[in-house]
Chain A
């Protein structure tokens, strides 16, 4: 579990740096997705299994797809017809592919090693988080639902023609 944490944190730092220093928005979003998946591996190594699943589903899945849709709809910058030719070159996606391959090796390593799942007291499954969410933090859950409704209405109102 130590090696999982250190390798995933190195991948997260490298991918975040590459994402924030790039000039092409789509390449930066690829790097940012790899960084968020590495964050999911870090959460898993810290015993937060439920949060690792949420990070992979919501952050790396939903939020990044939202970013990609908006970037594709904007389609800013000159040379849109040469963009398709340039993005299929191997050099543009080699960096995210290498980092994602290391994460895949970590995933396989965790799956085949049965004694690698943290069994200590620091590991909290979805049951403990759910009991805490709907016990002492119930008003926070209600406020989060109101926040999501306001975000939905605000995005619809701002984004309409």
Chain B
């Protein structure tokens, strides 16, 4: 049974990270920007898993658990901010985020 080369997993992580970065740079909807950040975090975790797979160590999976915790805390706070912003301005346009005061 042949195994997957770790370079392929790293290349897949790079492709997913580039997709997420493009989404952050291009989209102006706050929901989509948050989804792109989630994709980038997932790609970073995939790189850690690939490294742990390459050296046959469980440390990569430990790092993914930490990334998962960070993503859960970040998405809850960011969605609360989006909720407040929409109820104040009635839009999700990221270019108008400068009007959110206090």
Chain A residues near B (Cβ < 8 Å): 1-2, 5, 9, 12-13, 16-17, 19-20, 25, 28-29, 32, 35-36, 39, 42-43, 45-48, 50-51, 54-55, 58-59, 62-63, 66-67, 70-71, 73-74, 76, 115, 118, 120-122, 124, 128-129, 131-133, 137, 140, 144, 147-148, 150-152, 154-156, 158-159
Contacts and interface: CB of A to CB of B under 8 A. Distances in A.
Nearest to B15: A13
A80 to B, nearest CB: 14
Given A20-B20, A46-B49, A28 B62 contact: no
28 contacts: A1-B4, A2-B2, A5-B9, A13-B16, A19-B39, A32-B35, A32-B38, A35-B39, A39-B42, A43-B46, A46-B4, A46-B50, A48-B53, A54-B68, A58-B68, A63-B38, A76-B90, A76-B92, A122-B56, A124-B52, A124-B56, A128-B58, A131-B58, A132-B58, A148-B69, A148-B73, A154-B80, A159-B80
User: Can you list the 10 inter-chain pairs with the closest CB atoms, starting with the nearest?
Assistant: A151-B73, A159-B80, A20-B23, A158-B80, A128-B58, A144-B69, A155-B76, A124-B58, A155-B80, A46-B53
Contacts of B84: 158-159
Interface string B2-46: 111000110010011001101100010101101110110010011
By size class, the interface of chain B is 35 or more
A142 to B, nearest CB: 12
Contacts of A54: 64-65, 68
Contact of B4 (A2, A28, A35, A158): A2
Interface in B60-77: 60-62, 64-66, 68-77
B81 interface: yes
B31 to A, nearest CB: 5
